[in-house]
Chain A
Amino acid sequence: MSDDTAAHAQLRGVTRVYPGGVHAPPVHALGPLDLDIAPGEFFSVVGPSGCGKSTLLDVLAGLSPPTAGSIRFEGKPVAGAVPDGVGVVFQEDASFPWLTVHDNVAFGLRRAGMDTAETARRVDYAIGFMGLADFAAAYPAQLSGGMRQRVCIARTLVLRPRLILLDEPFGALDQQTRLLMGDELLRLWRETGATVLLITHALDEAAMLSDRVGVMSARPGCFIDLVETGWARERDSRIVSDPAFGAITARLWSSLRTESMKAIGRE
């Protein structure tokens, strides 16, 4: 198929069932689900809590195997390992408490054996980009939750991934900072030409940042709506005053409302 090669990341019939334990039944968390993300696309996923968003990210990144279905990244199957060119920012705080901010951010580059001058240049840039310049020598314990999350974003960005997967990266931030970080993310996306998959629980964030938003059903998560925003590539948080922004957010909410009620057990 011709469209197979066009997609940067492609999921076909992807399903994930967590095997049960001694006292726990198996959990059907995701799918079956099809998705094509175009090269350079900014794709967001919204969905009720527990619908399988983080599971989708794990499977797409090659961190956990799909129970059924196939995943391709840049045309090559993803199986058992994170492909080169994929960077992930996790939902949980994943900063290493035994390393300074600088060493946290440099972690991946040092492991990859990059020379020190280039490492220092990239790390300093990423730290500055994330607004952490004054905290390069600090340890994560001395930072706020939102700052720690920014350390993790910087640690992934320095790897220069071609596909960036972000799992609620701004969850610990206040609304104002969140909008500004959104602008920074858009700038980064434009500068690097990377493909972005952003998981978020904020509908306005999804509406403002994305080329396309996937709305997921309650567990097992499937896409029940795919919304094209039609924004120009040059955009920032000021589009929240655009009338189209309200219309997009309203459509996301109407798709999500029943699913969110299902997710909290009020059908």
Chain B
Amino acid sequence: MTRAGRIFWTRCAVIGGPVALLEAACRLRWISPLVIIPPSEMVAAMVSLLGTEEVLASVGQTFSTVAIAFVAAVVLGFVLGAVIHGLPRLRRAIDPLLASYYSVPFFVFYPLLVALFGLNALPLIAIGFIFALPAMLIATLLGLDRVPRVFRKVARMHRLGWARTATLVILPAALPNLFQGIKLALAYAFIGVIAGEFILSSGGLGYAIAYAYESFENRTMYGLMLFVLLSAIVTNGLLYAWEARQQRRRGRG
């Protein structure tokens, strides 16, 4: 078997083993269906739920909220990172703030955001954005730090202007770090939005899961949970594949 094949089958066993075990435990009634339903039923529930207009609307709402928060965080995180990188004084001043950023439990401010913006998509976009922004900002700072000084000299030797130095030299040199920021920003935006919907909102996947939980609709709850899980895995997997392709091009795959 090839190395890639072995890795694939090992991965299947690592994931499939516990799933099969859970399936057996549920079928044999070691675990009550009131607590957890068998994974096969979760899949069936997910498929049938995705056929309903109501759920599709929730999916659309959540995904578009995440997408807006994510794109805003990536763009603004990059721009702010680039600006702060160019202002060492400012950077020294806010470095400790950035370093301790993720120790603040931001969700305590979520009700405040709802009070400010009302019970609509805005507080959700805001919480996803607030959560994802620093990841991108920090990755941008790191990426720009790691551009070797000699690359800028090479750019000057080729007498490139400011814009071409940025796009042809600095950006590609910083790209591996920017990828890290993009991946993290997506994960954080997703977490922020779903959690916000969970706490307080009038729609979206998080809300639907919380609603199903409160009304003891186990099938719906697990079906939706599985869908959220799979969505996160698939989007992250796509970014991972994209990154791996870039790295292979640099010969470090």
Contacts and interface: CB of A to CB of B under 8 A. Distances in A.
Contacts of B159: 81-82, 84
Nearest to A98: B172
A92 B148 contact: yes
A87 B175 CA distance: 27
A107 B169 CA distance: 10
A61 B250 contact: no
Given A139-B251, A141-B250, A87 B157 contact: yes
Interface in A17-76: 58, 61, 63
B153 A111 contact: no
A86 B159 CA distance: 11
B148 A63 contact: no
Interface in A206-264: none
Interface string B62-102: 00000000000000000000000000000000000000000
Interface in A171-223: none
Given A90-B150, A92-B148, A138-B251, A108 B158 contact: yes
Contact of B250 (A58, A90, A97, A156): A97
Interface in A126-144: 138-142
Interface centre among A61, A84, A107 (most CB of B within 10 A): A107
Nearest to B248: A139
B170 to A, nearest CB: 11
Contact of B156 (A63, A93, A141): A63
Contacts of B150: 90, 92-94
B160 A141 contact: no
Given A84-B159, A111-B160, A111-B164, A94 B251 contact: no
B95 to A, nearest CB: 14
Interface majority SS (helix, strand, loop, mixed), chain B: helix
Interface residues of B, number: 20
A132 B164 CA distance: 28
A94 B154 contact: yes
B251 A63 contact: no
Given A111-B158, A138-B251, A94 B153 contact: yes
A124 to B, nearest CB: 20
Interface centre among A96, A98, A139 (most CB of B within 10 A): A98
A173 to B, nearest CB: 19
B166 interface: no
A105 interface: no
Interface string B221-253: 000000000000000000000000000011110
Given A81-B159, A139-B250, A111 B172 contact: no
Interface of B: 148, 150-151, 153-154, 156-160, 164, 168-169, 172-173, 175, 249-252
Interface of A: 58, 61, 63, 81-82, 84, 86-88, 90, 92-94, 96-98, 107-108, 111-112, 138-142, 156, 159
